[in-house]
Structure 1
Amino acid sequence: MMKKITFLFSLFLLCSVCFSQTRPTAPFGLNLAGADFGENFPGVYGEDYYYPTEMELDYFAAKGFKLFRLPFKWERIQPVMGGPLDTAELKRIIDFIDHAAQRNLWIIPDMHNYCRRKVGEVYELVGTSKISTNSLVDAWVKIAKALRYKKNIWGYGLMNEPHDMPSTDSWFQIAQQLITAIRIVDSETPIIVGGDAWSSAAKWLQFSTHLKDLQDPANKIIYEAHVYFDKDGSGAYKYSFEEEEATEQIGVNRVKPFIDWLAKHKKRGFVGEYGVPDDDERWLEVLDKVLAYMQQNGVYGTYWAAGPRWGNYKLAVEPINGKDKPQLKILARYLEANERTK
């Protein structure tokens, strides 16, 4: 009898975070950053880094957003390579996913490591003698085992912005090993593969077109590109609109290679990061045009960024003293991309 009661109670708890919403076609959303903050690992939670709150989910859900990319750090979820996942850190991730599920929201857990891991004071590349690919595979298999029953995960974000890899096919080989290993423990959850060279949408054909040959037995790969509109495409926006040589069409021009590639190869994809400063209305016009172009072409995205403790970061759309940031009036116009017709 006691076992039956325990089972029913567990079932009740499970149902309390049940996810009832059908998967939307192409929802726009935001990055809720904070868990990726800091260079001190693992660091002190609440001082070095932070997870977004339920209040933030409520605020942005009320604006109509359904998709949230959650950056986290490998060094924190698995402090020792090959070791167990950190239970406290895993709970923070699961709690956030469950809070989102209660609100019928979708989450992308995003390993925000640039295909690197900090060893001592140095960031070492994955796929080298310092950080083996098998170490990363081990981490993702354990993460997938822990999260595979969460029905509101949009996809596993394998790695944020791989760049400056040892060879042109290094990231391809790493991504394929990750996909193959994850599929042994989870055949259902989509897998999100960022492009090489900082996932640049503008340089997708130069650095990432070969990713089309990745094999997934579940056929659920989602490709991820990033795009910013300053002169060097870094998103730093160090200079004025004129000095950055920006135009209203610069966003469309930079994202077009990726969008055309998706259509040509009949692949699924989204733009995982884009953002503009809040100090010049012309940047808002750039944002408006690129989001309209994405929407028309059936490609959605997540804005960079929201989340706790951004302070005066000029790209952030976290409200200050309850006041909406200027970028939000543009973002709120684009809540879902049109269904692709070709």
Structure 2
Amino acid sequence: MFLLPLFLGGVASVGAVSPLAGVNIAGFDFGVEITGTANLQNAQGPLMVLGNSDGAGQMQHFAKNDGLNLFRLPVSWQFLINSSEFAGSGSGSSNATNGPFNNGTMGPSNNSTRGPFTNSTMMPGNGTTRGNRTPASNAATGTLDATNFAEYDMLVQACLATGATCVIDIHNYARFNNKVIGQGGPSNADFANLWSQIGTKYAKEAKIIFGIMNEPHDIPDLSLWAATVQEAVTAIRAAGATTQRILLPGTDFTSAQTFISNGSAGNLSTVKNPDGSLEGLIFDVHKYLDVDNSGTHRECVSDHVNDTFMPLGAFLKKNNRMAMLSETGGGNTTSCLRDLCATLKFINNNPDVYLGYAGWAAGGFSPETYELTMTPRGSNGNFVDQDIVKQCVVETRGVASNATANGALSGAAADPGNSKAFQSAGTKGMAPASGSGLVLGVMMLRVFSIL
């Protein structure tokens, strides 16, 4: 018996796959909790020059030997300003804090439940102490710390050097120290100032994607959150980054499963570029496949194609929009090899609505002990992929993974270009689906062998 997945409405072009595929390279985000607090002493930039893991070598391997072309680079707001405090214009008290959190159907995929990370799950690092060199003005103004930003930029430049597309991910859960941005925490202007500085830095880099915020959750007012996202988008464009893609995250830890039902899709649909267009504005979704959708277990229970990716894809097709699955993953187990591979096959089979995906996670995580590790074993020059990377992240694209860094692939697979090449919904260059019908359930053709 074999299963043949059908495409969302019509048939995609032969050989079409999602334009972007890759892995998260974690480390600068270590120490961040879902409250938006950060212990800067736990941050471990995944770079050997910093005395930590070889994130640069990992990206070179993934691009050269696996043909991957997307790396998401998480970092905390606190790290970028080198301060655990923020005294900007919106620093007053607020009822818009955390909890109670519902981990049931939201798919939280958060670093608090996937951590806090311990030495047993991280690669060895030097534990560089942070926070002692911050100019007093940084906490008040939100100015990027020159030293810390230079360290993060080393990771970004290592990513760009592979030819891949690189996602700048602010990993703060829509909060700074337990206060929601624009709703009692830092003001929209404070957040826009952060993104204006980042946008200015990477305005000329066509292969940068701006990830507005990692996993917002328990947002009191989604219309106000959409206004916060709008100000960030406007600031990025005003900084000169007019062509790059921007990822728009919803609430419930930007769960793909509830992205429509919780109002994220509707509210974020109002976010536009300053000229009123939707070019390069991509919905940002996450989904884990374990029993409570948390991304904390080695075993998977569902591929969530039927209840999540098919209906979301139908919404995207109907509204001429695209989404990126910027976090997903599973353990190196039989159940996750089954389910994650099925999920990513579906994503790859529908490139007209899904721009791509990034597995969680490599970088600073141990290749042996972390539940969801995608960190390759070995060292640069002889890296060996985890099974979950080889079979699911890579081979669902019809590309054979070369696990030992002596590959036939010459580099990262081609990205169709920055958002200027897209139509207003960001879909030009993708395989268009033919036909007018929308498939609202997973349809599978079962072919049985006759003995």
Q: What's the TM-score bracket when you normalise by the shorter of the two chains?
A: 0.7 to 0.9
- Residue type of the partner of 1:304? W
Counterparts of 1:328 and 1:25, CA distance in 2: 16
- Cross-structure match for 2:243: 188
- Residue type of the partner of 1:260? A
- Which whole-Å deviations, capped at 9, do the CAs of 1:35-72 have from their partners, x for residues lacking one? 1001485624xx53223532111221121111101111
- Cross-structure match for 1:281: 334
Q: For the structure 1 residues 265 and 142, does the alpha-carbon distance in structure 2 shift closer, same or farther, using more than 3 Å as the test?
A: same
Contact kept in structure 1, 2:183 and 2:224, CA below 8 Å:
no
Contact kept in structure 2, 1:228 and 1:251, CA below 8 Å:
no
- Cross-structure match for 1:67: 70
What is the number of equivalent residue pairs in this alignment? 305
Which residue of the other structure, out of 142, 156, 161, is the alignment partner of 1:83?
Answer: 142
- Cross-structure match for 1:4: none
- Cross-structure match for 2:195: 140
Q: For the structure 1 residues 206 and 323, does the alpha-carbon distance in structure 2 shift closer, same or farther, using more than 3 Å as the test?
A: same
- Cross-structure match for 2:357: 301
Cα drift, residue 261 of structure 1? 1.8
Q: Which moved more, 1:155-164 or 1:76-85?
A: 76-85
Counterparts of 2:325 and 2:377, CA distance in 1: 26
Which aligned pairs between 1:15-26 and structure 2 lie closer than 5 A?
Answer: 26=19
Contact kept in structure 2, 1:252 and 1:289, CA below 8 Å:
no
Which residue of the other structure, out of 25, 34, 40, is the alignment partner of 1:32?
Answer: 25
Cα drift, residue 252 of structure 1? 4.6
Cα drift, residue 212 of structure 1? 1.6
Q: Secondary structure at the match of 1:189?
A: coil
Matched, 1:227 2:287: yes
Counterparts of 1:144 and 1:42, CA distance in 2: 25
Matched, 1:200 2:255: yes
- Cross-structure match for 2:232: 178
- Which whole-Å deviations, capped at 9, do the CAs of 1:101-150 have from their partners, x for residues lacking one? 322121000011110112xxxx2211133322221111111111122122
Matched, 1:43 2:40: yes
- Residue type of the partner of 2:144? L
- Which whole-Å deviations, capped at 9, do the CAs of 1:177-202 have from their partners, x for residues lacking one? 11122221122222111122211111
- Residue type of the partner of 1:54? A
Counterparts of 1:144 and 1:253, CA distance in 2: 36
Q: For the structure 1 residues 115 and 59, does the alpha-carbon distance in structure 2 shift closer, same or farther, using more than 3 Å as the test?
A: same
- Residue type of the partner of 1:341? P
- Cross-structure match for 2:439: none
Q: Secondary structure at the match of 1:303?
A: strand
Matched, 1:115 2:174: yes
- Cross-structure match for 2:310: 256
- Residue type of the partner of 2:56? E
Contact kept in structure 2, 1:162 and 1:198, CA below 8 Å:
yes
Q: Secondary structure at the match of 1:301?
A: strand
Which aligned pairs between 1:150-169 and structure 2 lie closer than 5 A?
Answer: 150-153=205-208, 155-169=209-223
CA RMSD of aligned residues (A): 2.3
Matched, 1:105 2:161: no
Counterparts of 1:81 and 1:263, CA distance in 2: 44
Q: For the structure 1 residues 130 and 214, does the alpha-carbon distance in structure 2 shift closer, same or farther, using more than 3 Å as the test?
A: closer
Cα drift, residue 258 of structure 1? 2.2
Q: Secondary structure at the match of 2:377?
A: coil
Cα drift, residue 236 of structure 1? 1.8
Using the size of structure 1 for normalisation, the TM-score is 0.82
Q: For the structure 1 residues 252 and 237, does the alpha-carbon distance in structure 2 shift closer, same or farther, using more than 3 Å as the test?
A: farther
- Residue type of the partner of 1:145? T
Q: For the structure 1 residues 214 and 254, does the alpha-carbon distance in structure 2 shift closer, same or farther, using more than 3 Å as the test?
A: same
Gaps of 5+ in 2: 1-16, 48-54, 84-138, 398-412, 416-428, 434-451
Which aligned pairs between 1:320-339 and structure 2 lie closer than 5 A?
Answer: 320-321=377-378, 322-330=383-391, 331-335=393-397, 339=430
Using the size of structure 2 for normalisation, the TM-score is 0.63
Q: Which has the higher helix share?
A: 1
Q: For the structure 1 residues 73 and 215, does the alpha-carbon distance in structure 2 shift closer, same or farther, using more than 3 Å as the test?
A: same
Counterparts of 2:60 and 2:377, CA distance in 1: 15
Cα drift, residue 304 of structure 1? 0.9
Gaps of 5+ in 1: 1-23
- Cross-structure match for 1:317: 374
Identity %: 24
Contact kept in structure 1, 2:142 and 2:190, CA below 8 Å:
no
Cα drift, residue 73 of structure 1? 0.6
Q: For the structure 1 residues 82 and 74, does the alpha-carbon distance in structure 2 shift closer, same or farther, using more than 3 Å as the test?
A: same
Contact kept in structure 2, 1:271 and 1:301, CA below 8 Å:
yes
Q: Secondary structure at the match of 1:98?
A: helix
Cα drift, residue 204 of structure 1? 1.2
Counterparts of 1:205 and 1:28, CA distance in 2: 24
- Residue type of the partner of 2:202? L
Contact kept in structure 1, 2:169 and 2:214, CA below 8 Å:
yes
Q: For the structure 1 residues 275 and 81, does the alpha-carbon distance in structure 2 shift closer, same or farther, using more than 3 Å as the test?
A: farther
- Residue type of the partner of 1:177? E
Matched, 1:292 2:354: no
Contact kept in structure 2, 1:202 and 1:256, CA below 8 Å:
no
